[in-house]
Chain A
Amino acid sequence: MLKYLIEKEFKQFFRNKFLPRVVLALPLFATLIFPLVANFDVKSINLSIVDNDKSTYSNQLINKVTSSGYFKISDVSTSYKDALKSVELLKSDVILEIPHKFEAGLIREGEGSVMIAANTVNGMKGGLGSAYLSSIVADYNNMIRTNLLELNGAATKHSFEIVPLFKFNPGLIYQVYMIPAIMIMILGLVCGFLPALNIVSEKESGTIEQINVTPVSKLMFILAKLIPYWIVGFVVLTIGFLSAWMFYGFLPAGSFVTLYLFASIFVLAISGFGLVVSNYAATIQQSIFMIFFFVMLFIFMSGLYTPIASMPDWAQQFSNFSPIKYIISVFRQVYLKGSSITDLTTQLFALLGFAVFFNGWAVFSYRKKN
């Protein structure tokens, strides 16, 4: 019996002009374009410079800033007021103002100051920009201090070296962090939306009524809707893996087996969720809005865009209820760090729990009778 139900789902799927294309094109384009868009790389911060000193030191400092690779000089103003104007026009993100007699003060009085002003409407960019700039200033400070002290014959005592080291993503490339998450987002959209739309359109056309007077059991019906999207999920994922490799040469540090295993559980969970929604929605419009609402909720709670650790405590508790959170952390960890199943047991059990819960609910809430 199940055979005929699934056969029918596939026939309908392939006969649809739209769906097969979406399943093929979406992961392809998403993995191609998303990383270009979802790019929080803070590497070209527009800097406005106000150099009131125009000395060797101020020049050295500016050179050090520009050679850091993080800043691009977008504006050179003669006053702070003018620089502020360029920030208001969104031409610049950060202002570096070097005061008059900066060099002279540093050499004679042993101290000096610079002003860093950042547009923090975009908190990440402004915050990181000003932090980078401060640390470059500090570096420069260390350099000239050593030079000046050596010049004066005094040696620094009690010093130690701080060496930052970035593992797994030494180039600090934002894209490699986003790509695994984007695959999940597409997988979630395709496997969450399609089953829901499928059942609701059977409701709208009345065919579900016809099925309900046949001996097809609840479980069979749900399975027949679930299995095809489970397979579709594998296709979507494989295309995602391939295009990440083709376009960005990006391969997981861990094993594909781990990725497929976790993804297959996740697809069951999210499809089950889609089925639950479709059991409650009467029209396509309703189901779309419900899914849109919950998928948004799941995605924003998942740490896809902003780190979960940055959320307030209650929100962190709340985020435990997003299945997408677990699968994204699995994909990122396997792709970037090469984690294996033994490292990911929490996620494994959480996802299994979601899969059982949502599908159980879907079978339970599917009413053949009213």
Chain B
Amino acid sequence: MMCFINWHVIQPVILTDMKTFLTFVKKEFYHIFRDRWTMIILLILPIMLMLLFGFMMSTEVKNVRFAIYDPSRDVATHAIADKMKLNEYFIFTGYLDSPEQIDEIFRKGEASLVMVFNNRFYDNMVHTGDAQIQLIADGSDPNTASTFTLYASNIVASYQQDLMGDMKIPYNIQPELKLLYNPTLKGTYSFVPGVMGMILMLVCAMMTSVSIAREKEFGTMEVLLVSPMKPIQIILSKVVPYFFLSVINLTTMLLLSVYVLDVPVTGSLSLLISISLIFILVSLALGLLISSMVDKQMIALLISGMVLMLPVTMLSGMMFPIENMPWILQIIANIIPATWYIIAVKKIMIQGLDFFSVFNEFLILSTMAVVMIGVSIQRFKYRLE
């Protein structure tokens, strides 16, 4: 049958089709560029968030303010205090006059650790063996408290070794510590993939759904629908600009990550880009799906806010470990596309693993993309025709 088609006739049809399509795409770009505020926020938000997370969201424990209550004031207590004062993680705020002050400075939040020596510390240490140091920590923030208490006990314990002098410590087990992938314990390593997932989701899903809902609300969607364009083309023309915006955002985020935050792409860049593109498709499809269900931009915003943003930030493992959640929330976490994307990005970018290690994530995200695009196109056809 193919040979009967007259290409001279068909080609101009395709060309004009393509031309109207491009005109539509251009119109969408105009909309986006004209709304200056939204535009600025869409392009700056990723940069801000990356920098914020990169520089501010650190869990490294430092600047721990501590006070000392020392009724003994002898050689040993001074030596131990000096060791603490010299340590870069701790800041000395002063000596307390009475044990009653301990509560007070905690309540005022002036210190988070108080070292309490018992009476006649040196004498006891040398003679009775009853010498005791209490490390009283403000346990409000449990992780920070346990970390700095561990640090402090190590520092204090090292005094014991000093006492031994050059003597070899008998029966010593030396732990050999290896910090894999992120030796300096930077917070950025876990936040960068999360921020990438969040931003792509935000730009794609939220913006697409809101912009289509807006056209519906203002009645301009009707006008588009009576134009000679096919519904699928109209939908595509809405999606294309956000796809481009997302690609720009992806690029800026990767550049920032590598050159500003020192989070390198350890694995294959092309692998990272392909999984990101799949994720962008999933997000765009989600946005379409939402917009096919609602007619008002407020509702579109609220749905994408509540149904997309909140779960993405809370449940995707971006900020909070999924394995700590109750099983029901873990199940929800597993149906969120961003969860899989973030895992894949961590694996590729930071752990530098190969395709086979992220095959699962690729498969899941691709399936999600296909299903979601299928469903949303189906819904639009149903609504439009």
A residues with CB within 8 A of B:
18, 33-34, 36-42, 44, 46, 84, 87-90, 106, 110-128, 130-135, 137-138, 140-141, 144-145, 148-149, 154, 156-170, 172-174, 176-177, 281, 283-286, 288-290, 293, 296-297, 300-301, 305-307, 309-312, 315, 318-319, 329, 332-333, 336-340, 343-344
Contacts and interface: CB of A to CB of B under 8 A. Distances in A.
A370 to B, nearest CB: 18
The 6 closest A-B pairs by CB, nearest first: A166-B139, A160-B131, A172-B142, A169-B139, A117-B178, A120-B182
B79 to A, nearest CB: 12
B326 interface: yes
A52 B377 CA distance: 58
B366 interface: no
Given A154-B170, A309-B65, 11 more contacts: A38-B314, A39-B324, A44-B323, A120-B182, A123-B185, A156-B129, A164-B137, A166-B146, A286-B37, A293-B45, A306-B56
B150 interface: yes
A113 B171 CA distance: 11
> Contact residue range for chain B?
35 or more
6 contacts: A118-B179, A122-B190, A158-B164, A162-B133, A173-B142, A337-B107
B93 interface: no
B11 interface: no
B371 interface: no
B153 A164 contact: yes
Contacts of B180: 84, 87, 117-120, 126
Given A106-B173, A115-B176, A126-B185, A88 B52 contact: no
Which of A44, A162, A176: most chain B Cβ within 10 A? Answer: A162
B71 interface: no
Contact of A336 (B140, B314, B346): B140
Contact of B52 (A141, A297, A332): A297
A204 to B, nearest CB: 10
Given A160-B121, A167-B139, A300 B57 contact: yes
Nearest to A40: B143
B48 interface: yes
A271 to B, nearest CB: 19
Given A115-B178, A293-B48, A166 B137 contact: yes
Given A135-B150, A296-B49, A300-B52, A124 B143 contact: yes
B325 interface: yes
A115 B173 CA distance: 10
B194 to A, nearest CB: 10
Contacts of A134: 175, 177
B183 interface: yes
Contact of B168 (A110, A159, A290): A110
A286 B320 CA distance: 29
B150 A39 contact: no
B369 interface: no
A37 B315 contact: yes
